[in-house]
Amino acid sequence: MAFGETRPSARRSAPALREATIVALGGRERRPELMDQPGLDPAEHARALRGLRRVNWLSGTPSAFWGCIRALNPSADSPLRMLDVACGGGDNALALARRAERAVKIAGCDISPVAVACARRAADRAGAAVRFFEHDALRDPLPEGYDVVTCSLFLHHLDEEQAVGLLRRMAAAARRLVLVDDLVRSRAGYVLAWVGCRVLSRSPVVHYDGPVSVAAAFRPDEAAALAARAGLRDVSVVRHWPQRFLLSARTS
């Protein structure tokens, strides 16, 4: 399905979606997101990733990740290795690279070649030594040898079995720490997404996908239950601005 074919229907369905979601946030309401469509025009995909860069900057996710990673005492003499799964345009990986400097060696992977290409260009512009590569994290095991494996804004795309499988793969690949940051399903989160995505981006893909993502998101207690099913231990789930949660689990 091409972007030009989906955009009008997305606009027509938005008011009905808003009304239905505000009433029915008690349970997950999963709907296809435009950015997940294989026929999405690459230029529109790249535009949406640029819009998400501003959203990610406001979310504070890199700071939340860095607080947990810094507690592991990384240093230039003994750097950690980190993999960011479903990295999108590479925003979080690059922000962490700026904070960590030489104390953490960072890589990012994504199934989308458009996203990986955007992330590589962003790394080149920033002069950051972050490696980005294509990988299907739902189908294939994650590469090993990483101390920390992170993931942001990907869990809500998945059904429960997929989410449990992803958490298991992340734990198997991480020698020390798993970190997952995602949206909290709530009315406040839905309103913030609807307003914030329109303020921070002109992309109609971002405008549509933002509220849809909140409706599909897990609540913190649901995320903790998924982690337990995946066999993760020492699990902590804390909420942070703006209507997000950070799940952390030690693997050693």
195-240 pLDDT per residue, tens: 999 998 999 999 999 999 999 999 999 999 999 999 999 999 999 9
Q: What is the mean pLDDT of the chain?
A: 90
The closest of 147, 117, 144, 145 to 132, measured between CA atoms, is: 117
Specify the pLDDT at position 159. Answer: 97
Helix (H) or strand (E) holding 68: helix 61-70
Specify the pLDDT at position 231. Answer: 97
Specify the pLDDT at position 26. Answer: 78
The average pLDDT across 138-167 equals 97
Specify the pLDDT at position 20. Answer: 45
Lowest mean pLDDT segment, chosen from 23-27, 77-81, 144-148: 23-27
**For residues 210 and 191, what is the distance between their CA atoms, to the nearest angstrom?**
10
Lowest mean pLDDT segment, chosen from 11-20, 52-61, 234-243: 11-20
pLDDT in tens, 76-114: 999 999 999 999 999 999 999 999 999 999 999 999 999
Judge contact between 101 and 78, C-beta under 8 A: no
Specify the pLDDT at position 7. Answer: 40
Which domains does the chain carry? 3-7+35-250 (3.40.50.150)
